[in-house]
Amino acid sequence: MDHKTGAKRTTRDILVVSGYLNQHHITVLINHWPSRRGGKMRSAPQRFKAAQLHRRITDSVARKHPQSKIISMGDYNDDPKDKSIQWIMKKKEEKILHNPMLALAKKGIGSLAYNDRWHLFDQMIFSLNWYSDPSLFLLKTAVYSPAKLRTLRGRYQGYPFRTQTKGNTLEGYSDHFPVYTILGERKD
Note the pLDDT of residue 159.
Answer: 82
Residue type, 65: H
How large is the greatest C-alpha to C-alpha distance in the chain, in angstroms?
55
How would DSSP label each residue in 141-188? Answer: EEE---GGGB--SSTTTTSB--SEETTEE-----SS--EEEEEEE---
The Cα 143–Cα 22 span in angstroms is: 26
Residue type, 10: T
Residue ranges per structural domain of the chain = 15-134
Number of CB atoms found within 10 A of residue 71's CB:
19
Q: Cβ(73)–Cβ(26) under 8 Å?
A: no
46 φ, ψ (degrees, to nearest 5): -70, -35
CA dihedral 49, 7, 36, 94 (to 10 degrees): 10
Note the pLDDT of residue 7.
Answer: 61
Note the pLDDT of residue 68.
Answer: 96
Fold annotation for 15-134: Deoxyribonuclease I; Chain A (3.60.10)
Note the pLDDT of residue 152.
Answer: 86
**What is the mean pLDDT, run by run of 10 residues, along the chain of 188 residues?**
60 90 95 93 94 96 95 97 96 94 96 93 97 92 93 85 72 87 89
Strands 24-32 and 69-75: parallel
Q: Cβ(40)–Cβ(152) under 8 Å?
A: no
The whole-model pTM stands at 0.88
